[in-house]
Amino acid sequence: MSLNGKLVWITGASSGIGAEVALELARRGARVVVTARRAEALEELAGRAEGISVAAGDITDHDGIARVVEGITASHGPIDVALLNAGTYTPILPEQFSADLFRPHVEVNIMGTVNCIEAVLPGMRARRSGRIAVVASVTGFAALPMASAYGASKAFLISMCDSLRADLAGERSGVGVTVVAPGFVKTDLTEQNDFEMPFVIEAPEAARIIVDGLEAGDPEIAFPRRMSLAMKTIGRWLPGPLRRRYVANIARKRHRDRARAA
């Protein structure tokens, strides 16, 4: 399905993957509406390409994000694709483990995404068309060190989407659900990592892969291929003792590298 002329709503679009996907979609002729809390960054993005409009908002504000969707629909028409990309990430070590660090992952990654789905799903079901694309992560396929909060939130999103996809298919709703599961992508969030990131790619490349997958109507867009295959192998096919040993070895290496750096 060509996205030329289609209306695509992107959350978390002020930087990183979201911003690059907005630019890629605009290049392909889509009508794009971008949402994030940083209105100035969104305006700067909109100035870089024709076809990008701004609708600032906070996905953790349940009623506020519903009003954002209502405003988009009133101004631009029905949303064809909702790319729910907004998220947060903080690496957590055992000595830092706390509810305060977990809470933003739940409020933004999980409940923020749920707020957005609640806002767009009724309209799509009523029209019997549309696609909801949720940006999760390959860490949702298998646990990684320092990602106890982030990985758990992304595993939640993958499971939620799989269930929602089945329910929507079962009722023949005409609404599709796509899980987007990136590996390491160079963004402001991954700049926090003080360890070597395997198979890391640039955000524009990630954007091209995502938009290609959306146009193909893929139920899952996991990339880079080697990273996604590795994570699925670890999380889904390795026996439990081997999986736990493998992940523990990664953690030990990162601990040694941090100790050397200190």
State the burial class of residue 43 (Cβ atoms within 10 Å of its Cβ: 0-12, 13-18, 19+).
middle
Amino acid at 110: I
Helix-strand-coil split of the chain, %, nearest 5: 55, 15, 30
Taking the C-alpha atoms of residue 165 and residue 170, their distance in angstroms, rounded to an integer, is 8
Given the structure tokens 């390409």, which residue do they identify? 49
Amino acid at 259: A
**CB count in 10 Å sphere of residue 37:** 15
H/E stretch holding 221: strand 220-223
User: Is 89 known to be catalytic?
Assistant: no
Given the structure tokens 């933004």, which residue do they identify? 108
The answer to whether 105 touches 152, Cβ cutoff 8 Å, is: yes
The answer to whether 224 touches 202, Cβ cutoff 8 Å, is: no
Tell me the three state secondary structure of residue 130. Answer: strand
**CB count in 10 Å sphere of residue 42:** 26
Catalytic residue of the set 89, 150, 184, 223: 150
Tell me the three state secondary structure of residue 237. Answer: helix
Distances in Å between the Cα of 170 and the Cα atoms of 9, 163, 166 are 25, 11, 6
Active site residues: 150
